[in-house]
């Protein structure tokens, strides 16, 4: 074969008809498999996928979207791609939706409403089938774009008022109240909240509000200090925040953190100062990170339903896209895990 012939062969575009011929099915069956794979039998699906893999066929999603005026993509905006909590949610969402022929366009806003708006605008230019946002706080323009689009919209990881369409998550204020109640029941009377990016992280701010409300209800005082570490490196920022807190309020005996990394940094600072955890100060984090149950002391924390959120978001989207009635509010709750950093009663079993 000449180099010219090889060049012509290598540039020939593989078509859906080629896939149909190799797999022994009609082109319409190949099309159905690409659009709604769950509606094709497993045996046919394997034959078609083998043909696709053999030929290296890449479907033209934009061409297939001309008639429907939509692509089979779903735009997803999360605050961070580094945070494993959001990564777990997106992973589960991707697995559930890809089985039905949908793929995700993913972007991260870095907790910025302006960046979220920019991502929504960019995603809308791809004619998505639906949009998924994190939280309920958005710019006015983002809300206008999505409410006028008539697309299914799911806001995840938070519950509250003024939702665009469907909410899947849990109450962060309830989390803060549960954390405060646990510390108070453990004997703490002077509580504080240390959080990162509280000026832009609405969910952490809501947990701080819940803590303050619980202090008012249970202790008769809402005078609990709330400290924002800003956007510094979290563990070191927590050490600095604890030093400042102790200088101002040396009798503090219970602290809630907006995440487990901050709690870990505070433990390091306390140990360096000879402060006993939890005898002198009890600590509670948020997130149930992988290290939380392995460090010394292990960190009491809140486990959010990160994977369940992804599953339920996908379920809600599929119901909406198939014209089925979907729940508008899905409350998945959360789990408070009591470990060594807040266990003051001798003999209490640590889960």
Domain definitions of the chain by residue range: 3-59, 73-170+306-332, 172-303
27-57: pLDDT as tens digits: 888 888 877 787 888 888 889 888 888 887 7
Q: Is residue 211 over pLDDT 90?
A: yes
Q: What percent of the chain has pLDDT over 70?
A: 90
Q: Shortest CA distance to 160 belongs to which of 138, 139, 129, 182? A: 138
Domains 3-59 and 73-170+306-332 share a fold: no
Tell which wins on pLDDT, 118 or 69.
Answer: 118
Out of 9-13, 161-165, 341-345, 347-351, least confident range:
347-351
> Residue 286: what are its φ and ψ, rounded to 5°?
-150, 135
Residue with tokens 């149909």: 20
| pLDDT at site 69 | 52
Other residues' Cβ atoms within 10 Å of the Cβ of residue 57 = 18
CATH number of 172-303: 3.40.50.2300
Span 307-334, average pLDDT? 94
Span 227-252, average pLDDT? 91
> What is the pLDDT of the chain when averaged over all its residues?
89
Q: Shortest CA distance to 132 belongs to which of 167, 159, 84, 99? A: 167
Q: Shortest CA distance to 103 belongs to which of 8, 21, 35, 3? A: 35
Q: Is residue 267 over pLDDT 90?
A: yes
Q: 129 with 70: CB under 8 angstroms?
A: yes
Give the rounded distance of the alpha carbon of 329 from its chain centre.
17
Mark residue 169 as left, alpha or beta (left: phi above 0; alpha: psi -120 to 50; beta: remaining).
left
Q: What is the DSSP letter of 308?
A: H
Span 254-265, average pLDDT? 97
User: Hey, what CATH topology would domain 73-170+306-332 get?
Assistant: Rossmann fold (3.40.50)
| pLDDT at site 53 | 81
What distances in angstroms separate CA 9 from CA 1, 14, 54, one per listed residue? 10, 10, 15
Quote the CA–CA distance of 238 and 251 in Å, as a whole number. 18
- For residue 113, give the 3-state DSSP assignment: helix
- For residue 350, give the 3-state DSSP assignment: coil
| pLDDT at site 259 | 96
Span 243-272, average pLDDT? 96
- For residue 238, give the 3-state DSSP assignment: helix
85-132: pLDDT as tens digits: 899 999 999 999 998 989 999 999 999 999 999 999 999 988 899 999
| pLDDT at site 344 | 79
- What is the value of pTM for the model shown? 0.80
CATH number of 3-59: 1.10.260.40
Indicate the length of the chain as a whole number.
Answer: 351
């Amino acid at each position: 074969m000449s180099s010219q012939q090889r060049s012509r062969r290598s540039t020939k575009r593989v078509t859906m008809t080629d896939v149909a011929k190799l797999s022994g099915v009609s082109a319409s069956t190949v099309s159905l498999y690409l659009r709604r794979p769950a509606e094709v039998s497993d045996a046919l699906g394997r034959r078609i996928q083998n043909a696709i893999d053999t030929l290296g066929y890449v479907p033209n999603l934009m061409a297939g979207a001309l008639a429907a005026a939509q692509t089979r993509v779903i735009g997803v905006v999360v605050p961070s791609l580094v945070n494993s909590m959001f990564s777990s949610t997106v992973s589960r969402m991707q697995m559930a939706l890809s089985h039905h022929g949908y793929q995700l366009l993913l972007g991260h806003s870095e907790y910025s409403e302006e960046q979220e708006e920019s991502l929504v605008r960019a995603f809308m230019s791809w004619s998505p089938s639906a949009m998924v946002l994190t939280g309920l706080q958005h710019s006015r323009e983002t809300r206008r774009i999505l409410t006028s689009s008539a697309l299914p919209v799911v806001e995840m990881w938070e519950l509250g008022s003024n939702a665009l369409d469907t909410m899947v998550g849990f109450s962060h204020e309830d989390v803060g109240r549960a954390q405060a109640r646990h510390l108070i029941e453990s004997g703490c009377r002077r509580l504080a909240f240390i959080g990162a990016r509280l000026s832009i992280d609405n969910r952490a701010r809501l947990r701080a509000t819940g803590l303050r409300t619980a202090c008012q209800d249970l202790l008769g005082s809402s005078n609990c200090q709330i400290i924002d570490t800003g956007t510094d490196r979290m563990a070191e920022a927590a050490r600095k925040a604890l030093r400042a807190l102790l200088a101002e309020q040396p009798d503090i005996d219970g602290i809630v953190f907006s995440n487990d990394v901050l709690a870990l940094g505070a433990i390091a600072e306390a140990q360096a100062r000879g402060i006993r955890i939890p005898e002198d100060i009890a600590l509670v984090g948020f997130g149930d990170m992988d290290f939380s149950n392995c460090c010394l002391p292990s960190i009491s924390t809140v486990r959010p339903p990160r994977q369940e959120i992804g599953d339920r978001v996908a379920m809600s989207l599929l119901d909406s896209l198939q014209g089925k009635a979907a729940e508008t509010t899905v409350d998945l709750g959360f789990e408070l895990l009591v470990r060594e950093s807040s266990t003051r009663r001798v003999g209490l079993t640590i889960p």
